[in-house]
Structure 1
Amino acid sequence: MTETENAEGKGPRVVTAASARFAAKIFHYGNIAAMLVPLPLGIFWLGASMLVYAMNRHNPNPRVGHYTQTGATPLYGAVGLVVVVATFFSRGLMPWVVLWIFCAVIIIPWSIYQLVQIQREEWHDTPIPAEHDKK
C-alpha cells in the first residue's frame, strides 16, 4: 500500500486511488495463479493469502477490504472442501485432478469477474485518519 502526503507536504496522509485499486486486485491475482499452477503455487498461496488478507482487510479504503473478502471466501471454502473430501480419497491421482478442476471452475471465473468489477469501479484517494498514526 502506497501512502503519500498531500501536494504541499502537509496535512493528512492518503492512500492513493491507484494503490487502493491494486491492493483490491492482489487477492484475486493470487487465486488465479494458485488455481492455474496448484503445485507449488497453490500451497504457497494458501499461506501467503492469509498475510495478504490481514494486510488488506482493514485498509483505510473500505472497498479494498470488501474485495479482499470476496476473494477469500471462495478460496477458503474450496480449501475446506478439499480437506473434507480428500479425507475419503483412496490411492490414485484422478480424484485429486477432478477436485482441482472443480475448484478451478469455481474460483477462476469468480476472480476474473471481481477483477473486472474492481477495474470498472471509480476509486478515490482515501485519507488516513489521524488516530491511525498514533497506534
Structure 2
Amino acid sequence: MDQLVTKVQAAEDSKKTARFFTYGNLLAITFPALFVLWFGASILVYAICRHHPNPRVGFYTQRAAYCYYAVAGLLVPCLAFSPEGFIKSYWLLLWAVCALIILTFSIVTLRQISREPWQDIEYKGKA
C-alpha cells in the first residue's frame, strides 16, 4: 500500500515548468511544420503541466495553451474556406501573422513568469 508523504516542490523547478508550454509555442512558430507537430505534443505537455502541484504552473500553462489553440483554431476556417490559390499566394503572410500573435503573447507571459515571486510549496504525494 502506498503511503502519502509530504514533498517539497522547489520554486525554481515550478518556474521552469511554468515556462515549458510557452517555449513549445515559440519553437512551434519557428517553422510551419513544427506548428502542426506541436499541436499533438502540446496535448501531452498540457496534461502534465496543468496538474502540477503548484497551481501557478497550471495557470501559466493554461494561458499559453489558450493562445496556441486559439491561433490554431482560427487557422482551420481560414484555410478551409479560403479561395482557390489563397494558400499558395499568402501562406507566408498568414504564418507571419500567427507567429506575431504567439510571439507577442509568449514574451508577455515569460516576463510575467520571471517577475512573479515563486515559493517552494509542500504537497502530499506517494512515496
**TM superposition score category, shorter chain reference:** 0.7 to 0.9
Matched, 1:108 2:100: no
CA distance in 1, matches of 2:126, 2:91: 47
Count of aligned residue pairs for this structure pair: 121
RMSD: 1.6
Matched, 1:97 2:92: yes
| Deviation per residue, 1:66-114 (Å, 9 max, x gap) | 0001100110001111111100232342232222111111110110111
Matched, 1:75 2:75: no
Choose which of 47, 50, 53 in structure 2 pairs with 1:57: 50
Matched, 1:118 2:78: no
CA distance in 2, matches of 1:38, 1:17: 34
Which residue identity does 1:86 align to in structure 2? Answer: L
3-state DSSP class of the match of 2:90?
A: helix
Identity of aligned residues (%): 42
CA distance in 1, matches of 2:74, 2:98: 9
3-state DSSP class of the match of 1:13?
A: strand
Deviation at 1:44, TM superposition (A): 1.5
CA distance in 2, matches of 1:47, 1:77: 15
- Runs of 4+ that moved beyond 6 A: none
Say which is worse superposed, 119-128 or 21-30, in terms of deviation. 119-128
More strand by share: 2
Unaligned runs of 5+ in 2: none
Which residue identity does 1:22 align to in structure 2? Answer: K
| Deviation per residue, 1:12-69 (Å, 9 max, x gap) | 1111111100110011111111112222x21221111111100011111010000001
TM-score, structure 1 as length reference: 0.83
TM-score, structure 2 as length reference: 0.87
Match of 2:59 in 1: 66
